Amino acid sequence: MWGEVIAALVQVIDYRLSMSAPSRVVNMFTTLHSEDTEYSADSVEWLPENDPDVGYFACGTYQLVQDEAESTEEAAPKRPRKGRVYLYQFEGTNSALERLQCIETAAILDMKWLPAWSEDSNPHLSTVNSLGQLEVYEFQRDDKKLQKRTCFSLETEPQEEPPLALALDWRRQEEQDQVAISDSKGGLHLLHYSPQGEVIRERSWSAHGFEAWTCAFDRWSPHLLYSGGDDMLLMAHDLRTEQQAWTNRAHMAGVTCLLSHPMHENHLLTGSYDEQLRLFDTRAMKRTLAELDLGGGIWRLKPHPVHPNLILAACMYTNFSLVQLGANDSDLSLLGAYEEHKSICYGADWSPSCGKDDGALTMATCSFYDHKLCLSRVEISK
């Protein structure tokens, strides 16, 4: 089991515009910074606070510890996997990038920021790792550093080897954050995280026959959680009844990423190892609204926070592609591709600020075997 999981991870370790708005055109990608992360990089997340001058983002890494004494494939699952969390500051006025912090930890598989609850509180960075843990760090604004607050283990049977925690998503409720995590044994976990840092498990259940690569809350319905697995299944789970709402079998390979669109109700986008970006209407899942072949397998989908019909896709074995959801909300088109990375493309996210030039957008991307982090700017015009 673990040999298959490690092999798979090493191979693959990913305001609505006017209806009459014309298609946009990508003029140019410009690399502002390129940095060696030392360990293999697989995730990057901008702090979702819109400051036109200063922005912060985190980068997570995943590294197998090599041991010359281990020469057999059977030994691979026993190798420890280590990682780092990097914190960066980017100043938009002069395009300066500074690494503020490096935290040694277990190998990171995914991360998400939890915005501050109030003006008097700080945002938190949530991460999931190879030890099957949720770790949460508080971003201390004054000191510009992350402080660890919580570590929660997903394992339900202490005597068993814990699964790898592969992906997470969150949804804010009145007095707490609801957190969903998927794991390498096909399991899903529903947790609650309070502003005080307390984690409570609501429930854990088996959903997929193989790795559950991804999970995502429906941004429009408080009762639906989506998941995708290496069994090629896309599922919707009704959190009120603890039953599956539906199962979709449209994918020809593992389902690797999900996006419940933040500005278009009932729109669900999916990425898969089969290289197809799919757009579904969740009210009619028998057929897709649109499909787009991006090549290379799709590990991550990120809508721009200001222009969410512009979607950044991490296409593992090709590039980072910029896709536009069309004016009629039911077609997909490729606007351009960022080709700076030469290894597996995993991590991608947009800066929340558009800066002073509305036509220039900033993004961060990272890739695996070349342990490369890039900060770049894309100029887009109508």
Phi, psi of 166 (to 5 degrees): -95, -40
Between CA 154 and CA 188 the distance in angstroms is: 10
Query: Is residue 342 a part of any domain in this protein?
Result: yes
What local confidence, expressed as pLDDT, does residue 50 receive? 72
Cα dihedral 333, 336, 342, 348 sign: negative
Q: E strand or H helix at 81, and its extent?
A: strand 81-91
Could you report the per-residue pLDDT of 274-292, keeping only the tens digit for each?
Answer: 999 999 999 999 999 999 9
Query: Is residue 33 a part of any domain in this protein?
Result: yes
Q: Hey, what are 241's tokens?
A: 């009844």
Query: Is residue 148 a part of any domain in this protein?
Result: no
What local confidence, expressed as pLDDT, does residue 237 receive? 98
Between CA 211 and CA 220 the distance in angstroms is: 26
Q: Hey, what are 127's tokens?
A: 């991460």
Helices (H), 151-289: none
Q: What is the mean pLDDT of residues 28-34?
A: 95
Could you report the per-residue pLDDT of 106-161, keeping only the tens digit for each?
Answer: 999 999 999 999 888 999 999 999 999 999 999 999 999 999 999 999 987 776 78
Number of domains in the chain: 1
What local confidence, expressed as pLDDT, does residue 242 receive? 83
Between CA 334 and CA 30 the distance in angstroms is: 18
Could you report the per-residue pLDDT of 334-382, keeping only the tens digit for each?
Answer: 999 999 999 999 999 999 987 555 578 999 999 999 999 999 999 887 6
What local confidence, expressed as pLDDT, does residue 20 receive? 31
CATH label of the domain that carries residue 340: 2.130.10.10
- What does the mean pLDDT of the chain come to? 89
Query: Is residue 179 a part of any domain in this protein?
Result: yes
Query: Is residue 127 a part of any domain in this protein?
Result: no
Query: Is residue 278 a part of any domain in this protein?
Result: yes
Residue 307's contacts (CB-CB under 8 Å, 6 or more residues apart) are 15, 17, 361
Residue for token pair 């809350």? 217
Burial class (CB in 10 A: 0-12, 13-18, 19+), 241: exposed
What local confidence, expressed as pLDDT, does residue 370 receive? 97
Query: Is residue 107 a part of any domain in this protein?
Result: no
Q: Which of 18-32, 236-250, 353-367 has the lowest mean pLDDT?
A: 18-32
Q: Hey, what are 310's tokens?
A: 């512009």
Residue 245's contacts (CB-CB under 8 Å, 6 or more residues apart) are 224, 236, 237, 238
What local confidence, expressed as pLDDT, does residue 353 receive? 82
Domain carrying residue 355:
15-55+156-381
Residue 281's contacts (CB-CB under 8 Å, 6 or more residues apart) are 266, 267, 268, 289
Query: Is residue 116 a part of any domain in this protein?
Result: no
